[in-house]
Structure 1
Amino acid sequence: MKIKALSVACSMALAASAVSTTVAAEEGFEFHGYFRSGALFTGSTGGNQALYPASKESLGRLGIESDDFYELAFNKTWALDNGQKIAIKTRLGQHNTGEDAFEAQQNYSINGSATGLLEGFVEFEGLTNTGKMWGGQRYYGRDNYIFMTDFFYTDWSGTGLGVQQMELGGGKWDFAYLASNRPDDNGYGSDESAPLHLGHARADYGNWRVELVGKYMADNVSRSDDGNGNITVSEFATNGIEAHVQYTPKDFFWLGNGFSKISVQAGSGLGASSMLGKSFTNYNGYAPGSAGKGPVGMAHVDKGDKSYRALAYGGWFGSSVMIFPSVQMQYDDLDNGNKSLWWSAMARPVFLINSIDNFTIATEFGYTETDVEGSGGNTLFESSQYKATIAPTWVIGTGTGPAPEIRLLASYIDGKTNGQDNTNANGEQKGEFVYGVQADMWW
């Protein structure tokens, strides 16, 4: 024990001497966060809860977002007198899957929900000639975000290290390695719990962005028991590759007064189907293209699977109205011969009521279709759905970006599945009306 204590003391002394020539010139602290909370009810049940009345990633989140969520980020920074900088970044967040999350979503009373550490990493500036070096557990690659759908179409979060914004060849480059695990129940050491290894490279040149990702797993299997002791083992892809190209037009698709982005993604194996643009996270298990597989089944893709995705979205700002459109699609050519096409289009016009201070009327309209074709050309599944929402909203801007909103919500949802009209909560062949209230805030 004495030898161990002496070793630790010597190590600390050496570390202290290594940095003793630098003195912190300035310390800083930042507090950021996000939360949404609300209550949503169905008209057909006379006011019972509306848990997930429709898919917000395909129809738009406004008026159908029944789950609450929050994140709290705390950053500590040091600027040293030799020009180097250190940033320690941590983020707490609500557990958004599993039994704890489901109980929280059902409960409108004041009960705390399960919380965990989402991020914990450090950034160094000055170790490389340009850019920042980082290491730890973090959100990564979550730049391709459409706020109307509340989903990141590239999200390679995990634990690892990398360098960001290095200046090379007239552009800015990122390089990273990350590992992530599925939340399987089989525990450490099982071939069903092998981590995903991911290598990422990004280059930004003007309005263009190009990204390449390679993926590898030592094992990728699943086991099923028929109840009679017969276990079936299924093997899936253990490697894959994907690419992403993004272009940022000037203003709103060259029309002025706004912003816009156009993205194209493609991948094969572990970069295709429910794994396109993703690492293992609870959030990604339900993202667009996941086919409802969840965070455990999302890696059940085959080596020959190929997928293609396209996105176009933005916002236009007028004197009395703002319009936020979005169009997205994904085509999967699967190894088993099946082919599927999912696409959606939505728009959120927000009307500024100039005669009433801090008051707007937000609306949102969405339409989506999904078609799955078998290897013989037969139709296996087809569905369509549409939504219309109106949301009177009170909002006050801080003048520095954040603008908290309080809104009333009313939505009508309808559609067809395999040629039949969708049913409401009572099983009746007609659309559903949902209504409620919500507060939404980031800072």
Structure 2
Amino acid sequence: MKMKWLPIAAAVTAALASQAAFAVDFHGYMRSGVGVSDNGDMQTDVSKQKVGRLGNENDTYGEVQLGQEVYNKNNQTFYVDSMVAMTANQKTGWESTNGDSAQFVVAQFNAQAKGMFGGNETLWAGKRYYQRHDIHISDFYYWNVSGPGAGVENIEMGPGKASFAWVRSDEGGVNTNILDARYAGIPLWTDASLELGVDYALANDTGEQKTAINTSTGAQAGGSSDGAMLTAELTQSMLGGFNKTVAQYFTDSYSTNAVYYGAGGWTSQNGDGGNGFRLINWGVLPVGDKVEFGHQIVYGQSDNVVIEKNKVKYKDSDADTFSIVVRPMYKWNDVMKTIAEVGYYKDNETLNGVKTSTDGAKYTLAQAWSAGSSFWARPEIRVFASYVQQDDTFRPSTTGGLKQDDAWNFGVQAEAWW
């Protein structure tokens, strides 16, 4: 009986040996640390998308990505990519998924084929981080439809490259298919380029959802709505850094993405029939040899939309948001730097003709050591102090009464990507 397994074992050994010539690509990201605030906890309740992430994160988060080219012949290649991601609340040394905050997900698992049509385009299918656009200093993804899908990208077409994808997203509570089309690398003037894109969220209701009763009106809901998101991004290289200006327009089920810092990966199915727009300017620029700074400015507005508060839906509502974050950095030498970050935001909502406003701010000072002097050099270890402010947000004081309006945070954090 044992002899029957010898040919199989030999075949497996030969297969494994044949793969030895192919290098496994190992990539990843992590952040973790320890912190405390003046009211007994690590407070980070002011949204980092609005006021910046430095000294404003209290989680352990990591991504481990493994990929390998499994075929390469006649200028045609096949690549298999995978990623496992995790997050935890950073409060104990052993956090599990059983009652604790730890979560593990398969973030990516896909296959990519290049050269199938005689060019440099990539045919792909599976679960994937798809051409994400984000602002690092605030962890704000403003164009991101990642998920299970398929597509063809980087098709050489005229002066730029076209990409087309079909991605599935049910985050709005409805089976939604997102159709994504982009045209990138359009040359403009010196060191400037333009990318254009359209995303269409196509709702695919079940029979029960189509005939459901709208609790607000007592009438048949008539199914969920589709939505469109249009994006134009201008990139200008300057001074050894870059600046990006982004304009986005949203309709129907996408309309509240404009004010809730959405990226096109989710839709609102509250019967939204309005529209919205968002303007973004961000970048990283050097000032001489010793200083670099990153910044973001965001303004978004949604009109004639449905906003849900405390399980009550307010029709024909308006909302807008404004955010500004600045992160200057001074380089002492190749591995040591001092970083400051200041952020402020203000949100407005008009419900039943009544306007309400909320604002918040964060001020952070950090001393950091990193593997190089660049703004992007990682790994980086930071010692920081942050002051965060937002009305009636933090824990009640020890004397009772209203919640605190502000808090001090102190901590040490490590961040790395590779």
CA–CA distance in 2 between the matches of 1:235 and 1:149? Answer: 38
CA–CA distance in 1 between the matches of 2:89 and 2:394? Answer: 23
* Count of residue correspondences: 368
The residue correspondences of 1:57-206 to structure 2 (distance < 5 A) are 57-94=49-86, 96=87, 104-105=88-89, 107-111=91-95, 113-130=102-119, 131-142=121-132, 144-182=133-171, 194-204=174-184, 205-206=186-187
CA–CA distance in 1 between the matches of 2:318 and 2:372? Answer: 46
1:347–1:365 CA contact under 8 A, matched in 2: yes
Structure 2 residue 268 is the aligned partner of structure 1 residue 288: no
Three-state SS of the structure 1 residue aligned to 2:89 is helix
Q: CA deviation at 1:232?
A: 11
Three-state SS of the structure 2 residue aligned to 1:273 is helix
The residue correspondences of 1:410-429 to structure 2 (distance < 5 A) are 410-416=385-391, 425-426=396-397, 427=402
Gapped regions of structure 2 (runs ≥ 5): 1-17, 97-101, 188-192, 306-314
Structure 2 residue 45 is the aligned partner of structure 1 residue 53: yes
Structure 2 residue 203 is the aligned partner of structure 1 residue 208: no
CA–CA distance in 2 between the matches of 1:415 and 1:63? Answer: 16
With the length of structure 2 as denominator, give the TM-score of the two structures.
0.80
More moved, 336-345 vs 174-183: 174-183
Q: Give the direction of change, closer, same or farther, for the CA distance of 1:157–1:232 in structure 2 (3 Å limit).
A: farther
1:340–1:372 CA contact under 8 A, matched in 2: yes
Structure 2 residue 382 is the aligned partner of structure 1 residue 407: yes
CA–CA distance in 1 between the matches of 2:55 and 2:383? Answer: 9
Q: Give the direction of change, closer, same or farther, for the CA distance of 1:397–1:233 in structure 2 (3 Å limit).
A: farther
1:51–1:67 CA contact under 8 A, matched in 2: no
1:410–1:434 CA contact under 8 A, matched in 2: yes
2:45–2:394 CA contact under 8 A, matched in 1: no
Q: Give the direction of change, closer, same or farther, for the CA distance of 1:91–1:361 in structure 2 (3 Å limit).
A: same
The percentage of counterpart residues that share the same residue type is 24
CA–CA distance in 2 between the matches of 1:235 and 1:325? Answer: 44
Three-state SS of the structure 2 residue aligned to 1:351 is strand
CA–CA distance in 1 between the matches of 2:104 and 2:27? Answer: 16
Structure 2 residue 377 is the aligned partner of structure 1 residue 387: no
Amino acid at match of 2:242: F
Displacement over 3 Å in runs of 4+:
23-26, 110-114, 220-224, 231-237, 421-425, 427-430
CA–CA distance in 1 between the matches of 2:137 and 2:331? Answer: 18
Amino acid at match of 2:53: R
Amino acid at match of 1:288: Y
- Choose the corresponding residue for 1:250, options 226, 237, 245: 237
1:66–1:105 CA contact under 8 A, matched in 2: yes
Q: Give the direction of change, closer, same or farther, for the CA distance of 1:272–1:125 in structure 2 (3 Å limit).
A: same
Amino acid at match of 2:364: T
Three-state SS of the structure 1 residue aligned to 2:50 is helix
CA–CA distance in 2 between the matches of 1:394 and 1:236? Answer: 54
Q: CA deviation at 1:236?
A: 6.5
Q: Give the direction of change, closer, same or farther, for the CA distance of 1:211–1:232 in structure 2 (3 Å limit).
A: same
1:26–1:78 CA contact under 8 A, matched in 2: no
With the length of structure 1 as denominator, give the TM-score of the two structures.
0.75
Structure 2 residue 407 is the aligned partner of structure 1 residue 432: yes
CA–CA distance in 2 between the matches of 1:36 and 1:232? Answer: 49
Structure 2 residue 339 is the aligned partner of structure 1 residue 362: yes
Q: CA deviation at 1:129?
A: 2.6
CA–CA distance in 2 between the matches of 1:60 and 1:387? Answer: 8
More moved, 115-124 vs 75-84: 75-84
Structure 2 residue 248 is the aligned partner of structure 1 residue 265: yes
Three-state SS of the structure 1 residue aligned to 2:63 is strand
Q: CA deviation at 1:195?
A: 1.7
